């Protein structure tokens, strides 16, 4: 089976390469997925039987609120081209990776179940991105309903790992590790984080999502499901864990309440995941941050 992975040079793509080294990994340098002509060319050249669609425009709260048009347009366009052309080229299995940003900003009960996706609008800070990713779920469900395909979407919680971005547009854990490291390097005694530290988040190592993708492909699992770790910690709790892991217990945390908190909580249920993959044992946050930090130091990435 020929496997095509889009977003192949991203965080999850690099993790997946450790599990499925034989797949064809492509990035935006190879094909522009917002161009249907380029997408058609990619399918013609690679002729995949299976597609794992990881490619997306992603970023933090500030970038999402600054460029909502780009987040919506680019994600909707590339997702639409990918599913449509996968079907037209006879792709047997398609896995689209979404985000818990698709879920309503607030629900009546937590953790969030997969069938709660349409109970309200996404959070304002990721509104365009959330709707674009939600549209991919609708599209995959539509193809399965109309054409009997076995296409699937996975909805991971927040991710982190060695292969995340460590520049100006980082996700929270990556930005946190970099801030702590820079403070240590510059002999500073504090770091500043957005908001007030109260929002709750599930953060999972990207290797765990890669493991789930591999397991689904190997075992014929094509259920739509959340993929998450059960730990649901506050920003302040995660920051303290990171300080301890990075050997920076002496550094204090200050919060900038003029900056947004983001969604207060969006923890999702992993009940379906555990029923389908009972062997799933994700790495806990402390061990995952330690693994990530050691890798970054060893390879002079930060």
Q: Which residues are catalytic?
A: 129
SS3 of the chain: the string is: CCEEEECCCCHHHHHHHHHCCCCEECCCCCCCCCCHHHHHHHHHHHCCCEEEECCCCCCCHHHHHHCHHHHHHHHHHHHHHHHHHHHHCCCCEEEEECCHHHCCCCCCCCCECHHHCCCCCCCHHHHHHHHHHHHHHHHHHHHHHHHCCEEEEEEECEEECCCCCCCCCCCHHHHHHHHHHHHHHCCCCEEEEECCCCCEECEEEHHHHHHHHHHHHHHCCCCCEEECCCCCEEHHHHHHHHHHHCCCCCCEEEEECCCCCCCCCCCECCHHHHHHCCCCCCCCHHHHHHHHHHHHHHCCCC
């Amino acid at each position: 089976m020929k496997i095509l992975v889009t977003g192949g040079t991203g965080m999850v793509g690099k993790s997946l390469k450790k599990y499925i080294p034989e797949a064809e990994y492509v990035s935006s340098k190879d094909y522009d997925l917002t161009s249907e002509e380029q997408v058609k060319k990619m399918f013609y050249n690679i002729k995949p039987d299976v597609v794992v669609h990881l490619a997306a425009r992603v970023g933090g709260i500030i970038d999402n609120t600054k460029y909502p048009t780009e987040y919506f347009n680019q994600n909707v366009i590339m997702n639409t081209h990918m599913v449509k052309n996968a079907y037209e080229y006879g792709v047997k299995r398609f896995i689209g990776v979404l985000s818990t940003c698709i879920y309503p900003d607030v629900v009546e009960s937590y953790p969030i179940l997969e069938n709660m996706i349409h109970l309200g609008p996404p959070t304002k800070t990721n509104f365009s991105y959330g709707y674009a990713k939600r549209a991919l779920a609708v599209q995959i469900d539509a193809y399965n309903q109309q054409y009997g395909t076995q296409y699937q979407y996975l909805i991971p919680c927040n991710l982190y790992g060695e292969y995340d971005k460590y520049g100006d547009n980082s996700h929270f854990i990556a930005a946190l590790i970099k801030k702590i490291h820079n403070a240590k390097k510059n002999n500073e005694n504090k770091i500043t984080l957005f908001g007030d530290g109260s929002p709750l988040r599930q953060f999972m190592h990207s290797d765990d999502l890669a493991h789930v993708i591999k397991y689904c492909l190997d075992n014929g699992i094509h259920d739509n499901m959340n993929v998450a770790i059960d730990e649901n910690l506050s920003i302040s709790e995660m920051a303290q864990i990171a300080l301890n892991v990075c050997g920076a217990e002496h550094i204090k945390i200050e919060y900038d309440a003029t900056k947004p908190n983001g969604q207060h909580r969006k923890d999702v249920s992993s009940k379906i995941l555990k029923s389908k993959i009972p062997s799933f044992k994700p790495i806990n946050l402390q061990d995952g941050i330690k693994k990530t930090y050691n890798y970054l130091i060893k390879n002079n990435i930060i």
